[in-house]
Structure formats: C-alpha cells, structure tokens
Structure 1
Amino acid sequence: MKKKFSLLALVIFMLSIFTVGCASKNKADNSLEEIKNKGEFIVGLDDNLPPMGFRGENGQIVGFDIDLANEAAKRMGVKAVFKPVDWDGVVLSLNNKDIDVIWNGLTITEKRQKQIDFSKPYLENRQVLVVKSDSTIKNEKDLKDKVLGIQLGSSSEIALNSKPDVVKSLKEVRKFSNNTEALMDLKASRVDAVLVDEVVGRYYISKQPNVYKVLSEDLGKELYGVGIRKNDKTFKEELDKVLDEMKKDGTAAKISEKWFGENIVK
C-alpha cells in the first residue's frame, strides 16, 4: 500500500513539474503574440542622446536608433512607440513592463545581462574622452586633479569605475542626467573633460568642430544591443531575425550612412 502511495505521489509530482514547465514556456512564447495583438512595442529611451535618439527641430523624437526601431517594427507588422524614461532607472522600467524594449545606445554589460536579455549586437562603440579644442589634456593620465563629467547610470560610468586609478586621480567626478548637459558644462569650462560614447561625442563634434575634440585613447570598447525582458523569448527571436534581414539587404547600412556618414553597423 505504501509503495502504491509513493508511486502515485511521484506521478503527481512529475505531472506538476511538467505542467508548471509548460505554463512557463507558454508564457514566454506568448511575448511576440502579445506585441502583435497590441500592434506596437514601446521603446524606452533617453530623448537627449544625439544621434541615437533626441528631439528634432519640430520636437519629434528622431535619431539612428529611432530609424532602426521604426524599420524593425514595420517589418514585424507593428509600430514603435517612443517613451522617454529616466535613464538611471531604465532597466527597472523594462522589467516593470512600463516599456517593451530599451533601444537607445544601450551597452551590453555583464551586470545588465543578469537583469535583462539583449538582441544580437548591432553596433560597436568606444568610451572616449571629449575635451575642448584648446585643452592640454592628451590622455587619461592628464586627468589628474581634473573634473570629469559623465552621464549618471550610463556605460561611461561603468567604464570609469573599471579604472580605479583614474577615479582616484581625479579632483571630482560630476554626474549629469544626460550628455547634452555634460558637454554644455565642458563648453563653459565647468568640467575639464567628458567621458562619453564615441558615437555621441563625434556627433557633437560634427556640429561644433571648433569647440570640442576627441582624444585618440579610449577607456574601453563595447557593443550595443536592444534590451529585452528575459522571458520575452519569441519576441527576441523575431527581432533578431528582422535585424539580420536589415543588415543583409543594406537597409541598416543606409540608416547608418544617414546619421554617421558611413556604415558602422556590426
């Protein structure tokens, strides 16, 4: 009798595991279907990050990542809706389902990979130092006793913290809510240098070539990807497929040439 009871208990236990597993799998597999039913996916971004995503002259959000997201959404049969969020809390916004993706020059880091999933990398970037055109700063060693500006919660902050000797040598690290404010303070000589994504730094320099310059030395290389919730597997698979198609047929290259003057898509 005890053997029969034990066998029955084991069967019930195994069925419960199978049921829970299937339910979890089905929940994950519904992510693409949910997006299709909504007819849109919500993109969380910092709308002050030229040329990735920013406000144009008419107040609309434009940029390299904006064009990529719109094209990807079109191919998926939905539309992209852009929602500005606090960048320092953007991962929390994604996991709380306030947004569906983070698509805004998002660096793939080990810490973020523990919290969210990523699309395949689509852009390679560097962390560079931007200084005024007449600055005597030539490399990271020259930052000793200087004031450095960075964006709060950005990959620049992560790159800086990976170099404790540099941090220790600085007079001050001044944190800003966005790179635009940091570079404005650089122009006004309130900071001595700004650590920023190269794609962002070079965009600003192209607009004001006599004001800023980028140092040749970098503080680390990185890859950009689209941030996705860990359970949204089918949505990620479809997005990766669409991004691959855009690279193969030259659409991604055209978007890159529009914003950077060359194809830098990985």
Structure 2
Amino acid sequence: MKKVVVALVAVLLISALAGCGVKVSHENSKGSYNDKLVIGLDDSFPPMGFRDENGEVVGFDIDLAKEVGKRIGLAVEFKPVDWDGILLSLNNRDIDLIWNGLTITNERKEKIGFSKAYLKNRQIIVVTKDSNIAGKNDLKGKIVGVQMGSSSDEALSKDSALVNELKGTKKYSNNTEALMDLKIDRVNAVVVDEVVARYYMTKKPGVYKILEDNFGEEEYGVGYRKNDTELGEKIDKALEEIKKDGTMDKVYKKWFGEK
C-alpha cells in the first residue's frame, strides 16, 4: 500500500509541475536531451565550424546541423568546447552532440555513439611553399605542429618510428594557430585535416603546399551519447534524405567548391 501511495504522489507532483509551466524532462521518451540540441564544437575549425567576421558561428557542419535539426523538429544551439575534452563534455551532458569534423575511430566508439559517415577526409602534411620538405622522410630532425587531441595528433603519434626521429612536436589549441606558426617558421610542417588545409589555403594563396605523403584516410560522423540511439537513427535518416535530394551537394559546393 505504501508503494502505491508514493507512486500516486509522484504522478500528482509531475502533473502539478506541468500545470504550473515547469519543464519536465523528456529523458524517458526521447533520450537525454530536451527540445533543443546543444552541439559542441571547436569554433576555430574552418570550414567545418568557425566564427566569421561578425563573430557568428558558420561552416559546413553548421549548415548541415541546422538542416538536420529542421528535418527532425529540434532547434540547435552551438556551444564552443575545448576539443581535448569534448567527449567528456558530451557524456557529462554539457552538450548533446559533437558535430565538427569528428573522425570515427574504434577508440571513440567505445565511449560514444556515431552517426553513419557523411564526409571523407585525409590527414595530410602541410609545409610552406618554399620548403625543401618533400615527404615523411624529410621530417626527421624537424618540428611538426598538430592540434592537441585531434585526429591529426592521433595519426602522427601512431607513426612511432617517425615521431622518434622528429626534433619535436608542438601542440596547439586549434589548427589556425598551427598554420600561422608554420608561416613564420616556428614549426617546419603541420599535420592537419585535408578539409581544413584546403579551405585555409584558399584564404592564404601562395603560402603553403600539401605533400603527397599522408597519414591515412578517415570518415567524419556525428557523435552522440550511447543511450541516445533513437536520436542517432533520426540523424542518419535526415542525412540520407539530404544526400538524396541534393541538399548535401549544395552545402558542399558552398564551402569546398565543385567536387
């Protein structure tokens, strides 16, 4: 009898709160998020997500996330987060999604869920236009820059034989800082996502060049908490629709030009 009374009181309390306009969590019915998705990102990661001259967050992933949000009926909010701790921010519910050129890896799959891949990328080596570095072998005795906690950082560290031959690695909070230091010779090369490098090079023509050697191909996906599988399915469905109806091609052309 006591259990029945407690359950009845709980039901009445929830009803009263709802009637008074107090927001009741929808966690049981729709996952650990509410009517708005808070998307975590590195806001210095052009062209995936970055701030324009007016301070607004823009980019390829931003446009894509807004379109998906519209199709699944949820507002989106973009929240800059320290990339090195972004998985923790997601699982601590500071954000609801990671949507910012997030590489799908087995290590990350152990901690979070992923949408299906929506874009391919490579980890490439960028040097200055007049550099005599022609390939990986020429990096021996040199200083290489990477973004801390990024896929570039991980890709470089996996090549332990090369890392042991380097003079050192310099880690940055974002790729923009790394490429700026490369320009003024504070580092000799930068390992970076190809999508970032190619966009950055259109803004700084004649400054950099990309080497043929690279650290492998990868795929980008949207990261979500493992218990938010229903949300993941909705995102997959929306992304598939966006690919089929030509919206993906339009967004791609806006940020990367023709394929």
Cα drift, residue 28 of structure 1: 8.2
Aligned match of 1:153: 149
Following TM superposition, the consecutive aligned residue runs of length 4 or more in structure 1 with deviations greater than 2 angstroms are 27-32
- What is the aligned-residue RMSD (CA, Å)? 1.3
Residue 256 (structure 2) aligned to one of 239, 247, 260: 260
Q: Are 1:239 and 2:239 an aligned pair?
A: no
Q: Secondary structure at the match of 1:90?
A: helix
Q: Tell me how far 1:87 sits from its aligned partner.
A: 0.2
The residue that corresponds to 2:44 in the other structure is 48
CA distance in 2, matches of 1:262, 1:128: 20
Aligned to 1:143: 139
In structure 2, the residue matched to 1:219 is 215
Query: Is 1:126–1:220's contact at 8 Å kept on the other side of the alignment?
Result: yes
Deviations 1:3-27 (A, max 9, x none): xxxxxxxxxxxxxxxxxxxxxxxx9
CA contact (8 A) 1:45 1:85 kept: yes
Following TM superposition, by how much is the alpha carbon of 1:29 offset from its aligned partner in structure 2, in angstroms? Answer: 6.8
Which of 167, 177, 194 in structure 2 is aligned with 1:198? 194
Please say if residues 144 and 170 of structure 1, whose CA atoms lie closer than 8 Å, have aligned partners that are also in contact. yes
Select the structure that is richer in helix: 1
What residue number does 1:30 align with?
29
2-structure distance, mates of 1:41, 1:166? 41
Q: What residue number does 1:187 align with?
A: 183
1:110-121 equivalences under 5 Å are 110-121=106-117
> Is 1:81 matched up with 2:77?
yes
Deviations 1:194-238 (A, max 9, x none): 000000011111111211111122111101000010000111111
Q: Aligned in 2, Cα 1:230/1:164: closer, same or farther, shift over 3 Å?
A: same
Number of aligned residue pairs: 234
Distance of 2:65 and 2:76 partners within structure 1: 6
| Aligned match of 2:57 | 61
User: Which ranges of structure 2 fall in alignment gaps of 5 or more residues?
Assistant: 1-25
Distance 1:128 1:31 in 2: 39
- Give, in whole Å, the separation in 1 of the partners of 2:241 and 2:115: 14
Q: In structure 1, list runs of 5 or more residues that go unmatched.
A: 1-26
Write out per-residue CA displacement over residues 33-86 of structure 1, whole angstroms, 9 at most, x where no aligned residue.
x64xx3310100000000000000110000000000000001111211000000
On the 8 A contact 1:42/1:100 being kept in 2, the answer is yes
Compute the TM-score of the two structures, normalised by the length of structure 2: 0.88
Identity rate of aligned residues, in percent? 58
Indicate if the aligned counterparts of 1:29 and 1:233 stay in contact, CA closer than 8 A. no
- Matched residue type, 2:78: F
Question: For 1:123 and 1:190, how far apart are their aligned partners in 2?
Answer: 32
Deviations 1:173-196 (A, max 9, x none): 000000011001001100000000
Using the TM superposition, give the Cα deviation of residue 167 of structure 1 relative to its aligned residue in structure 2, in angstroms. 0.3
Instruction: State the partner residue of 1:102.
Output: 98
- Aligned equivalents of 1:218, 1:250: Cα separation in 2: 31
Letter in 2 for 1:229: R
* Whole-Å separation in 1 of the counterparts to 2:241 and 2:225: 22
CA distance in structure 2 between the partners assigned to 1:206 and 1:31 by the alignment: 42
